[in-house]
Chain A
Amino acid sequence: MDDHPFRDGAKAALPVVLGYLPVGVAFGILARKAGFNAFETGLMSLLVYAGASQFIAVEMISKGILWFPIVLTTFFVNLRHLLMSSTLSVYLKKSRIWTLGLLSAQLTDESFAVAVSDTSKILDRPFYLLGLQITSHLAWISGSVGGAFFGSVIDHRKYGLPFALPALFICLLMIQIKGRDHVGIMVMAGIFSLFFKWAFPGNWCILLATLFASVIGMVIKLKVQGSKLKNSSASALIGEGEGGGE
């Protein structure tokens, strides 16, 4: 069977493209208003490629804030990628360091979520991930440059476009629910996230809620497995007169 990982990945990116174009346009309009030209807007989308922090950056620039606080804020906003990068490491053991560098430069919430919706497709297939990410990235760049050029003509808030990415995330979340333990993690992470968002304004909620929910989930799972292991070795002792054959 022919294997076209890059093309498959590019196809998988299409729903992300639909979400990125209007958001990119919105970013381009705001960047232009903050004093960026179209080239700088495109350069930022090419090199930084992180939606939330780009919006925050142009907001801070328009308020006259200097570069250092902006870079620091960007760092904290994007710390959540630590967890996504760690998750992907399981599937990319055979890739070269340069490939990993290119792939991680384009890691976003959306492409990550699409990538892990079917992990069989990314296991040792860096080109699938590359197709997915390059396609999404191109949509982000062209959206932002388009917004910077033609901003006043396009209305990115029309036709339900603001709900494209939330709907994408909801579907990707539903795809991840594979068992009762996942429902538990979803509820925990949701509640934690709302709490942290309320307690610490900004994007901290994603990192903190994910950490708390997955660590608690891990501890519970270890406990459950531990007691199961005890039970099964105990019954093996009674049944066959030999135990500990784990």
Chain B
Amino acid sequence: MDYENLWLILGMALVTFLPRFLPVAFLSRREIPEKIKMGLEYIPVAILSAIVFPILFFDAEGAFGIQPHYLFSAMPVFGFAWKTKNLWGSVILGMLVYWGLGFVV
């Protein structure tokens, strides 16, 4: 086994672990002020939105532009997910539409 690769993996593991661990370790032991709690309440919706929209408007190389294949697959999923809140249904529907559009786009 290549030791250089091993050190690389351990280094990456450490710097990934710390930001995942330190906030929960410290904050779970403290009373969090009401104001901060209010901000924390918005984080899930903000993170998800910040993840989803770049997928629809940036290509794999990071260039800005409408991604028709992704955008047209996303539209029915938005509607279906809003109505049903069903994870499996959304994933299957999204894959089907994406797969079907593959023959057209």
Residues of chain A having any CB pair with chain B under 8 Å: 14-15, 18-19, 36-37, 39-40, 43-44, 47-50, 53-54, 57, 61, 67, 70-72, 74-75, 78-90, 92-93, 95, 97, 100-101, 103-105, 107, 109, 112-114, 116-117, 158-164, 166-177, 181-182, 185-194, 197-198, 201-202, 205-206, 209-210, 213-215, 217-218, 221-222
19 cross-chain CB contacts under 8 A: A19-B91, A40-B2, A48-B9, A53-B12, A71-B11, A85-B24, A86-B24, A104-B17, A160-B95, A166-B74, A170-B52, A171-B91, A174-B78, A177-B45, A181-B42, A197-B64, A214-B43, A217-B39, A217-B46
**Known A86-B23, A92-B28: A167·B16 in contact at CB below 8 Å:** no
Which residues does chain A contribute within 8 Å of B82, judged by CB atoms? 174, 177
Return the chain B residue nearest A196 by Cβ.
B50
A167 to B37, CA, bound (A): 29
A93 to B24, CA, bound (A): 9
A interface, over-half SS: helix
The 8 A CB mask of B66-105 against A (1 = contact, 0 = none) is 0000100110011001100111101101111111101000
A169 to B55, CA, bound (A): 10
A78 to B15, CA, bound (A): 8
A169 touches B99 (CB 8 A): no
**Known A174-B78, A190-B52: A85·B19 in contact at CB below 8 Å:** yes
A95 to B24, CA, bound (A): 10
Which residues does chain A contribute within 8 Å of B7, judged by CB atoms? 67
Residues of chain B having any CB pair with chain A under 8 Å: 1-2, 4-13, 15-17, 19-29, 32, 35, 37-40, 42-58, 62, 64, 70, 73-74, 77-78, 81-82, 85-88, 90-91, 93-100, 102
**Known A171-B90, A194-B57, A206-B47: A78·B16 in contact at CB below 8 Å:** yes
A197 touches B58 (CB 8 A): yes
Output the residue of A70, A191, A206 with the most chain B CB within 10 A: A206
Which residues does chain B contribute within 8 Å of A117, judged by CB atoms? 87
A210 to B40, CA, bound (A): 10
Return the chain A residue nearest B88 by Cβ.
A15
A44 to B70, CA, bound (A): 29
Taking a contact as CB atoms closer than 8 A, the residue among B12, B91, B94 that contacts A57 in the complex is B12
Taking a contact as CB atoms closer than 8 A, the residue among B5, B24, B70, B99 that contacts A104 in the complex is B24
Which residues does chain A contribute within 8 Å of B85, judged by CB atoms? 171, 174-175
A182 touches B45 (CB 8 A): yes
**Known A49-B16, A160-B98, A222-B35: A206·B51 in contact at CB below 8 Å:** yes
Return the chain B residue nearest A77 by Cβ.
B16
Which residues does chain A contribute within 8 Å of B1, judged by CB atoms? 37, 39-40
